Amino acid sequence: MVVPASLSIASFRQTEGPLVDVRSPGAFAKGHWPGAINLPLFSDQERAEVGTIYKQRGRRQAIQRGLAITGPKLADLSEGLQRCVNTNSDSALRLYCWRGGMRSGSLAWLADLVDLKPVLLDGGYKSYRRWVLERFEQIWPLRLLAGRTGTGKTDLLLALARRGVAVVDLEGLAHHRGSSFGGLGMPPQPSTEHYENRLAEVLERCRKEAAQEIWLEAESSRVGRCNIPAALFKQMQAAPLLEIRRTLQERVDRLVDVYGLQGRELLQAATLRISKRLGPQRTHSRPWMPWRLIDGIWPVRPCSITTTAATTVSWPGIRIETVLILPGLAAMKLQQCCWKRG
């Protein structure tokens, strides 16, 4: 039997082949290398049991219990490994566990036994997490797109991405639109840990493409439950900012289009979450609040909506370099503006 290679994070990333995370399902759900397949050696309960035995009775007893648990699973695990490789049996099978120790090593032994080509990540997922956090300490050529809720910033970013511009969709990666209503109609949010993993991979792709500018939306330090890494957020605060302004009517129309299909209960709960900020009168009687939407009063768009808010928005610590007033969702105008700023 050939001892599987244990590669540094840099070499491991350059190696092609399916990526398999052998940690327990709970650890995988908390955070994993994006794109990895979970083929756990232990269930969450089994992992806890082996860990407890290790602490209370020592390494040898823990290994014995681990062998007893995994022995009956070997045939299923072998089939799982072969399914991961599928028809491309010549590619490497990249395996990792928490520290690059016995769990990934055991499955590497099994993979080699059925003539696969396993390679291990030196240091395991812990090494990958160090790599992730290091991405945010690097200097990135960030450009921010700002604007009030309903100005269509995400649509504009995605339009830029379709034109080949380097874009980081902070809200898309977080599965949240960033407001009290931002989680409506979206998949469950990832943990902050997994959000960081996804964000680091997008930034790395921008680096490989030698992006001269990377556009992202001006956000607070949190997108729903997900925290933007502090080092990256600090760079965002120092980055040039392009503010998009649209009329209040256009913003209302956009918000109705985005949230209008959500149910009464979801809209009511989202509104009540910000009721202290709005005050009771604004929460229940404003003509543009969700009650009007869900009671079917929206077929005719409101034309006389008043607001006491200021006409501009400030982002603390961020300088507004350019203001672009867009009548309608004119993505091409933003693109032309970006090229001129070059």
Active-site residue set: 97
Q: Per the structure block, which two tokens stand in for 36?
A: 């990895």
Report the Cα–Cα distance between both ends of the chain, in Å, rounded.
Answer: 57
CA distance 95 to 115: 15
Residue 220 neighbours by CB under 8 Å, 6+ apart? 178
Task: Quote the strand ranges of 101-253, DSSP E.
Answer: 118-121, 142-146, 167-168, 214-217, 222-223, 226-227, 241-245
CA distance 24 to 46: 9
Residue 98 neighbours by CB under 8 Å, 6+ apart? 23, 27, 124, 125, 126
CA distance 3 to 208: 32
- Strand arrangement of the beta sheet that strand 93-96 belongs to: 5-7, 118-121, 93-96, 19-21, 37-38
Q: Per the structure block, which two tokens stand in for 168?
A: 């980081």
CA torsion through residues 33, 38, 40, 44, sign: positive
Residue with tokens 């502090």: 230
Residue with tokens 């390494």: 59
For β-strands 19-21 and 93-96, DSSP reports them as parallel
Q: Which amino acid is at 249?
A: Q
For β-strands 5-7 and 118-121, DSSP reports them as parallel
Element (H, E) at 275: helix 275-278
CA distance 36 to 47: 20
